[in-house]
C-alpha cells in the first residue's frame, strides 16, 4: 500500500508568503504523480497495490481503516516536501500500530535528501529510498518474497532493528516508456483531482537552491511522443476535455522538434493545458504551435532580474541573454489573448536594495504582459548546494538562519537573506509585490488548474473574453 499523507495539519508559525489571491474555501488538489507511477509500474508486473490518499482529508486516522481493510505486506509513504514531513512520520506510527508485521518504507524528494536524519526522527521507519521508486519498490518486493537482504539494494537506507545500513549507489532508473500508461483508476477519487500527464523527469540545469541536481544527477529523461500520446488518450477517456490538464515536466520544451510533435498531439486531443517553461529554452521554435494546441497557462521561473543574483543561484551563465529572452517571451505571450502568464520570483540570499530594484524595475517594465507573479522567500532545503554554501554566505552577506521549532522539525529553514533584509521584511515585501504585479483575475487565471473544485463554472468564464481587458 502506498500512502500520500496530508499536508500542514499543524499550521505554520510564520506569516504566509505567496498565494494572496487564493479563492476562499478552495484547497490545492493534486494527485501524487510519483505514487501513481510506482503503483502503475508494480501493477503492470503483477504486484497488487493500493493507494491511500489523505491529501483532501485532515483526519489522518483514516489510514487506520484502510490498513485494516487492505492488510498490506509493505506500506510505503511519500514525503515530497517539508509540508508533509511530520504527517509522514505520523503515518509511519499508525502503520506500526495497525500492521506491525508490514515493512515500512518511505521515499520522496524531501525525505530522500534527509537520509539517516529521518531515522532519528522516527523509531518506526525501516527503509528509506533516496531516489526514484519504481525499480526500487520492485526490488524490495522481490527481497521480501525471496527472504533476501534489503541492504544490498542500491540507493536504500535500511534499519534492521540494530544497525542502519546505507547503500551509497544511485538507484536504478526505469525507462519511462517501460511504465504502462498511468492507471489513474488506482488513485482514490481520481476525478476530484487535476489530471497530470508526465512529459519528462529531471532537469539538466544545476540551480543552487534545487535538490533535483542530486536526485537526477542533472539528467533529463523523456517519454516518447507516442507513449505520451497513449497516456494522454487514457487520461482523456477518464476526464474528457473539460478540465485544464497539467503537463508534468521540470523543464518542458528542451527539444524543439519533439515539442512540436507534442503540440500536434495536444491539438488533436483538443484540450486546454499548462506546463512550466524556461525563458532561455528554444521557445521561439514551438510557442506558436503550443498556443494553437490549447496551451492556456505558462509558468515561467524568472527567479530574479538581477544579473548578480542569477549568477549566484546558478540559474544561468549568461544573465543578460537570459533576461533578454525573458523580455521577448513576455512580449510574445502578451500577444496571445488566451494564454495566461504566471512568473515565479524568489527573494534570494545576498539580496541588496540594488538587486531588488533591478527585479522590481524588470517587472514594472513588463507588467502589462504578466497576469500574476508568485514571489516567495528562499528556504534552505536539505541536501541542496545552497545549504552547503550557507556558511560562506553568512560571512559574505550577513545571511542567517531564522530559528523556528516548527520548521526545524520539518527540516526546512527560514533565513534572513542578507544584512539588509530581515525575514519578516522579506515576507511583507513578497506579499506587497504580489499585489502590485498581479490582479485577482490574472492570478486566478494562472492558478485555476490547481483547484479542481473551482474549475466547473469558472473555467469557461476565464477562457471567454476576459483577457482582452487585461492584455
Question: Which string of DSSP letters, residue by residue, matches 417-446?
Answer: -BTTB-HHHHHHHHHHHHHHH--HHHHHHH
Give the pLDDT confidence score for residue 453 in this predicted structure: 46
26 — pLDDT class (breaks 50, 70, 90): low
Give the pLDDT confidence score for residue 464 in this predicted structure: 47
Give the pLDDT confidence score for residue 25 in this predicted structure: 52
Among 76-80, 208-212, 243-247, 333-337, the least confident range: 208-212
Using N-to-C axis directions, what is the helix angle for 62-70 and 85-98, rounded to 10°?
40
Give the pLDDT confidence score for residue 57 in this predicted structure: 81
Q: Report the topology of domain 2-166.
A: Rossmann fold (3.40.50)
The answer to whether the beta carbons of residues 38 and 137 sit under 8 Å apart is yes
CATH of 194-470, one of 3.40.50.300, 2.60.40.3080, 3.10.20.340, 3.80.30.20: 3.80.30.20
CB burial string 58-82: b at 16+ within 10 A, e below: eebeebeebbeebebebbbbbbbeb
Find all residues with CB under 8 Å of 1, minimum gap 6, and list them: 49, 50, 51, 52, 66, 67, 70, 72, 74, 75, 76
Give the up-direction half-sphere exposure of residue 47: CA atoms within 13 A in the CB hemisphere.
Answer: 22
Give the residues across from 157 on adjacent strands. Answer: 128, 166
Return the SS3 of 30. Answer: strand
Among 13-17, 183-187, 219-223, the least confident range: 13-17
Domain ranges of the chain: 2-166, 194-470
The mean pLDDT value of the chain amounts to 90
271 — pLDDT class (breaks 50, 70, 90): very high
Under DSSP, the state recorded for 157 is E
Give the pLDDT confidence score for residue 58 in this predicted structure: 77
Q: Stretch 310-314: mean pLDDT, rounded?
A: 97
Give the pLDDT confidence score for residue 7 in this predicted structure: 87
Q: Stretch 362-378: mean pLDDT, rounded?
A: 94
DSSP output for 228-242: HHHHHHHHHHHHTTS
Under DSSP, the state recorded for 108 is S
- Residue 327 burial by CB count (10 A; 0-12/13-18/19+): exposed, middle or buried? middle
List, for residues 108-144, the tens digit of each pLDDT value.
Answer: 999 999 999 999 999 999 999 999 999 999 999 999 9
Dist. CA 437–CA 433, nearest whole Å = 6
Q: Stretch 213-239: mean pLDDT, rounded?
A: 90
Percentage above 90 pLDDT, the chain: 76
> Of 129-133, 318-322, 439-443, 446-450, where does the model show the most confidence?
318-322
Give the pLDDT confidence score for residue 469 in this predicted structure: 37
* SS3 annotation, 372-408: EEEEEECCECCCCHHHHHHHHHHHHHCCEEECCHHHH
The answer to whether the beta carbons of residues 386 and 392 sit under 8 Å apart is no
List, for residues 112-121, the tens digit of each pLDDT value.
Answer: 999 999 999 9
Give the pLDDT confidence score for residue 470 in this predicted structure: 41
Dist. CA 311–CA 298, nearest whole Å = 24
Amino acid at each position: 500500500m502506498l500512502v500520500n499523507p496530508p499536508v500542514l495539519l499543524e499550521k505554520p508559525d510564520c506569516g504566509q508568503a505567496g498565494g494572496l489571491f487564493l479563492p476562499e474555501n478552495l484547497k490545492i488538489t493534486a494527485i501524487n504523480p510519483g505514487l501513481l507511477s510506482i503503483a502503475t509500474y508494480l501493477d503492470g508486473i503483477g504486484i497488487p497495490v493500493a493507494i491511500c490518499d489523505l491529501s483532501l482529508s485532515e483526519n489522518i486516522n483514516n489510514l487506520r481503516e484502510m490498513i485494516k481493510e487492505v492488510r498490506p505486506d509493505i506500506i510505503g509513504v511519500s514525503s515530497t516536501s517539508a509540508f508533509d514531513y511530520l504527517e509522514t512520520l505520523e503515518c509511519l506510527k499508525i502503520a506500526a500500530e495497525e500492521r506491525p508485521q508490514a515493512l515500512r518504507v518511505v521515499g520522496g524528494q524531501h525525505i530522500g535528501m534527509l537520509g539517516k536524519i529521518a531515522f532519528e526522527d522516527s523509531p518506526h521507519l525501516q527503509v528509506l529510498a533516496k531516489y526514484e521508486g519504481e525499480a526500487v519498490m520492485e526490488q524490495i518486493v522481490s527481497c521480501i518474497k525471496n527472504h533476501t537482504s534489503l541492504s544490498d539494494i542500491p540507493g536504500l537506507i535500511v534499519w534492521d532493528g540494530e544497525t542502519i545500513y546505507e547503500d551509497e549507489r544511485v538507484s536504478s532508473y526505469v525507462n519511462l516508456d517501460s511504465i504502462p500508461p498511468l492507471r489513474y483508476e488506482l488513485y482514490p477519487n481520481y476525478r476530484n483531482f487535476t489530471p497530470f500527464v508526465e512529459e519528462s523527469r529531471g532537469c539538466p540545469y544545476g540551480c543552487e537552491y534545487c535538490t533535483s541536481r542530486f536526485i537526477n544527477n542533472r539528467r533529463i529523461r523523456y517519454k516518447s511522443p507516442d507513449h505520451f500520446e497513449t497516456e494522454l488518450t487514457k487520461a482523456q477517456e477518464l476526464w474528457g476535455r473539460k478540465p485544464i490538464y497539467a503537463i508534468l515536466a521540470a523543464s518542458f520544451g528542451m527539444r524543439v522538434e519533439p515539442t512540436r510533435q507534442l503540440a500536434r498531439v495536444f491539438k488533436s486531443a483538443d484540450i486546454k493545458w499548462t506546463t512550466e517553461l524556461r525563458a532561455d529554452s528554444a521557445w521561439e521554435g514551438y510557442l506558436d504551435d503550443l498556443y494553437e494546441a490549447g496551451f492556456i497557462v505558462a509558468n515561467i521561473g524568472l527567479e530574479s532580474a538581477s544579473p548578480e543574483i542569477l549568477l549566484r543561484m546558478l540559474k544561468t551563465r549568461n544573465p543578460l541573454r537570459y533576461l533578454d529572452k525573458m523580455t521577448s517571451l513576455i512580449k510574445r505571450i502578451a500577444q496571445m489573448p488566451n494564454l495566461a502568464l504566471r512568473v515565479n520570483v524568489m527573494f534570494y540570499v545576498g539580496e541588496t536594495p540594488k538587486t531588488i530594484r533591478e527585479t522590481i524595475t524588470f517587472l514594472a517594465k513588463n507588467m502589462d504582459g504578466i497576469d500574476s507573479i508568485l514571489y516567495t522567500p528562499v528556504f534552505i532545503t536539505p541536501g541542496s548546494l545552497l545549504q552547503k554554501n550557507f556558511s560562506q554566505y553568512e560571512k559574505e552577506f550577513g545571511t542567517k538562519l531564522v530559528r523556528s521549532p516548527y520548521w526545524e522539525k520539518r527540516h526546512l529553514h527560514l533565513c534572513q537573506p542578507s544584512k539588509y533584509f530581515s525575514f519578516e521584511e522579506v515576507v511583507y515585501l513578497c506579499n506587497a509585490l504580489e499585489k502590485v504585479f498581479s490582479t485577482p483575475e490574472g492570478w486566478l487565471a494562472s492558478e485555476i488548474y490547481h483547484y479542481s473544485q473551482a474549475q466547473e463554472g469558472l473555467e469557461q468564464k476565464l477562457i471567454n473574453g476576459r483577457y482582452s481587458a487585461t492584455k
